[in-house]
Amino acid sequence: MSYQCVAITGASSGIGRAIALKMGQENLSVGILARRHDKLEEVAAEIKAVNPEAKVFPFQGDVRDKNSVKVFLNETENFLGEVDIFVNNAGIGFSESFTSLSPEQVEGMLETNFSGSVWSIYHAMKLFEKRKKGVLVNISSTTVLKASSTVPLYAATKLGVHGLVRALEEEHLTNPDMKMINITPGPTLTGIIQGTIAKADEKNLISPDDIAHWMWLAINSPKNCKVSNLVLRNSGTF
């Protein structure tokens, strides 16, 4: 299948930014959502730098607002055309024990990582099911595979959404034009984890660019071979 347009949440930095750049490089039109307008404009300029012909639609929004992604998708299609791929990437995390988290941190993770993701996926799936085609990509985490005492609530929110995407994959398993993919990376060199580990250990972290590369390969798997969960593990000490 030839893909024309992708919409990405949490696209102003880290994994989301890397995916946006990769999609622009692959000649897709790119819709990007984040809370900070200035960061969105920076990413849009970076996409144009790697591919001057790329069409980019930056949208300032917040996944904690359950209607924000609905508006984002509608506006992206108005400006760029039909969205083929939706990447659920927006997320926050804090490396603290569960009871060390403040009520504001707990609420922020639940609203962003869980309910924000659920509503984002809901709105994307409404479009895809109507057309009977589309690719849903969820940026998950290896914390769903192995319990983590350092990020317990983050792991819980990721596990819930990971399970939702697996259920949706089972629901649409017989339709080769519907793909639901969990991309499940280990510790990645992003703002969430930087500063929580020793500088010398950063070389063992996964690169956001590598995640974008493997995601693109997973999306383009043959129709008779769906990728449901792509686990990217660190080759170092993590």
Of 56, 79, 179, 75, nearest to 125 (Cα)? 179
Judge whether 184 and 144 are in contact, CB under 8 Å.
yes
CA 114 to chain CA mean position, Å: 13
pLDDT for position 237: 47
pLDDT for position 191: 62
- Among the options 154, 156, 190, 215, which is catalytic? 154
Judge whether 4 and 81 are in contact, CB under 8 Å.
yes
Tens place of pLDDT for every residue, the chain, 238 residues?
789 999 999 999 999 999 999 999 999 999 999 999 999 999 999 999 999 999 999 999 999 999 999 999 999 999 999 999 999 999 998 888 899 999 999 999 999 999 999 999 999 999 999 999 999 999 999 999 987 788 899 999 999 999 999 999 999 999 999 999 999 998 887 765 544 444 445 667 899 999 999 999 999 999 888 999 999 987 764 4
pLDDT for position 192: 56
C-alpha atoms less than 13 angstroms from C-alpha of 128 in its C-beta half-sphere = 27
Active site residue 154: yes
5-232 is classed CATH 3.40.1410.10: no
Cβ-defined contacts of 100-109 (< 8 Å, 24+): 101/153, 106/153, 109/153, 109/154, 109/157
pLDDT for position 149: 81
pLDDT for position 187: 84
pLDDT for position 200: 41
Tokens describing residue 49: 């730098």
Judge whether 223 and 176 are in contact, CB under 8 Å.
yes
**Domain ranges across the chain:** 5-232
